[in-house]
Amino acid sequence: MKKHVLAIYILIFSSLSGFAFHTFKSSVTSTQAAALQTETATFATGCFWCGEAKFSQLKGVLKVTPGYTGGLTENPSYEEVCTGTTGHAEAFSIVYDPSLISYDELLEAFFLSHDPTQLNRQGNDVGTQYRSAIFYHNENQKQRAKYCIAQLKEKKIYERNIVTEVTAFIKFYNAESYHQEYYKKHPNQAYCRYVIQPELEKFREIFKKKLK
């Protein structure tokens, strides 16, 4: 993305709250909703180590879990997903408090956290498992994601076409335990130092007013 269009980009997201969306009718009761007070978003932005490290920094995000979704193979292993034959993407599930951070704000972070114009890759990570994807949990999330992409395209924020997949969430498989909080546990590992760290610093700078 061009640096000089970042301000326009932010304006698009600030206007999302004014868009009239169909209200999703949840199956949970008002009593249950009051008790839970959380919602879930599921994204894929390439390597899930990086996605977890970035989104866990945001105020209102309660838990980020790396895993696999979007494919057909049941209970896939990391090795299987890496072959690109399972149909799954490296993704992460975000449990968040909507009173502190909105789905629109998460969408903003999603698009600014990776390059949504790269098809089936992010940088040197290549394969369908590294695709850009939004897995919506309800009709409201679907409408917001599609509207957001339409606005980004209309304003020509990106020089290339946005290839982000918007598809219904079906099932999420947690990644193996050694993938959980990988960056936090291995900050000096080469990939963490030279790939994740620079990306995380940029993310923190952009969202410095929304960090924990």
Residues 6+ apart with CB under 8 A from 23: 140
Q: Rounded to whole angstroms, how far apart are CA atoms 200 and 13? A: 21
| 47 classed as catalytic | yes
Q: Exactly one of 47, 50, 148, 192 is catalytic; name it.
A: 47
Strand, helix or coil for residue 141: helix
Least Cα distance to 88 among 131, 118, 123 occurs for 131
Least Cα distance to 54 among 202, 154, 177 occurs for 202
Give the catalytic positions in this structure.
47
